[in-house]
Amino acid sequence: MKIADGESILFIGDSITDCGRLRPLGQGAGLGESYVAFVDSLLAAFYPERHIRVLNTGIGGNRVTDLDSRWQKDVIDLTPDWLSVMIGINDVWRQFDNPSDPCQVTIDLYETTYRTLLEQSRPKLKGLVLMTPYYIESNLSDPMRKQMDVYSAVVERLAFDFDAVFVNVQAAFDSYLVNRTTQSLCGDRVHPNKTGHMIMAKSFLTAIGFDWNLALQKK
């Protein structure tokens, strides 16, 4: 597993990451109820010999431009060993639910801003994880799903460019939707229930080399 004993990992993003975390910094019992809390609990349960500090600075409603305005305070000043970023859902969603918004995050602005943020932080990190935005919709021709896939492709390209662990959250949800309905995860195709957050946590942990057989090996 890539994260070592004594290292810290900071999660930043929008409401999916935030999910009720404490202010100004989510940690310990104040991580909220998102995939971040599941990651923290599973790391402790499977790797009790590794003391990994998990931090959460997600804020609901954020777009990548919002991350830009708080990157110094909520990322750089906290000096994490590892950083995980998941942003883009609101960047796309606002184009559909509020198309008259003059501050839309176009695909070019999304990539340029995201790239600039990573350029500031990557040299100082031991590891970086980039998670795709997603839309819990199996119809690939759905307009918002199509647009989300375009933004997700940018994240994959950035992961390659910055030697980051790539987590395809959309693919994880797509796999689930082969057997279950969107409504079994959420009502708005964006904000998942606990099952959805566990899918994200599993996808994240698998990508960083989490050994799911440890429970059997330690019996």
Pseudo-torsion of CA 108, 109, 115, 118, nearest 10°? -150
Kindly state whether residue 148 falls inside one of the protein's structural domains.
yes
Beta bridge partners, 98, equal none
User: How far apart (Å, rounded) are the C-alpha atoms in residues 202 and 197?
Assistant: 9
Kindly state whether residue 80 falls inside one of the protein's structural domains.
yes
Kindly state whether residue 2 falls inside one of the protein's structural domains.
no
149 is catalytic: no
Q: What is the pLDDT of residues 69-96, one digit of tens each?
A: 999 999 999 999 999 999 999 999 999 9
Tokens of 142: 């759905």
Confidence label for 113 from pLDDT (cuts 50, 70 and 90): very high
- Which residue in 5, 77, 108, 188 is the catalytic one? 188
User: How far apart (Å, rounded) are the C-alpha atoms in residues 17 and 70?
Assistant: 15
Kindly state whether residue 1 falls inside one of the protein's structural domains.
no
Does residue 216 register a pLDDT over 70?
no
Kindly state whether residue 15 falls inside one of the protein's structural domains.
yes
pLDDT of residue 214: 82
Please, what is the end-to-end C-alpha distance for the chain in angstroms?
19
CATH number at residue 34: 3.40.50.1110
Count Cβ atoms within 10 A of the Cβ of residue 139 and give its class: 0-12 exposed, 13-18 middle, 19 or more buried. exposed
Kindly state whether residue 66 falls inside one of the protein's structural domains.
yes
- Helix/strand/coil for 2: coil
Tell me what the mean pLDDT of segment 121-128 comes to: 98
User: How far apart (Å, rounded) are the C-alpha atoms in residues 73 and 3?
Assistant: 23
User: How far apart (Å, rounded) are the C-alpha atoms in residues 45 and 215?
Assistant: 9
Kindly state whether residue 122 falls inside one of the protein's structural domains.
yes
What is the residue type of 205?
L
- Integer-rounded Cα Rg, in Å, for the chain is 17
Pseudo-torsion of CA 36, 40, 159, 152, nearest 10°? -30
Confidence label for 219 from pLDDT (cuts 50, 70 and 90): low
User: How far apart (Å, rounded) are the C-alpha atoms in residues 114 and 157?
Assistant: 11
66 is catalytic: no
Q: How many CB atoms lie within 10 A of CB 137?
A: 20
% of the chain surpassing 90 pLDDT: 95
Q: What is the pLDDT of residues 10-56, one digit of tens each?
A: 999 999 999 999 999 999 999 999 999 999 999 999 999 999 999 99
Sign (positive/negative) of CA torsion 154, 198, 139, 63?
negative
pLDDT of residue 64: 98
- Which residue in 81, 121, 184, 191 is the catalytic one? 191
For the chain, percent helix, then strand, then coil, each to nearest 5?
50, 10, 40
Tell me what the mean pLDDT of segment 176-182 comes to: 97
**CA 22, 84, 59 angle in degrees (round to 5)?**
35
* CA dist list (Å): 28 to 55, 56, 73, 75, 111: 8, 10, 20, 18, 32
188 is catalytic: yes
Q: Domain of 81?
A: 8-217
- Which residue in 8, 14, 15, 197 is the catalytic one? 15
- Helix/strand/coil for 178: coil
Q: How many domains does the chain have?
A: 1
pTM for the predicted model, two decimal places = 0.96
pLDDT averaged over the chain? 96
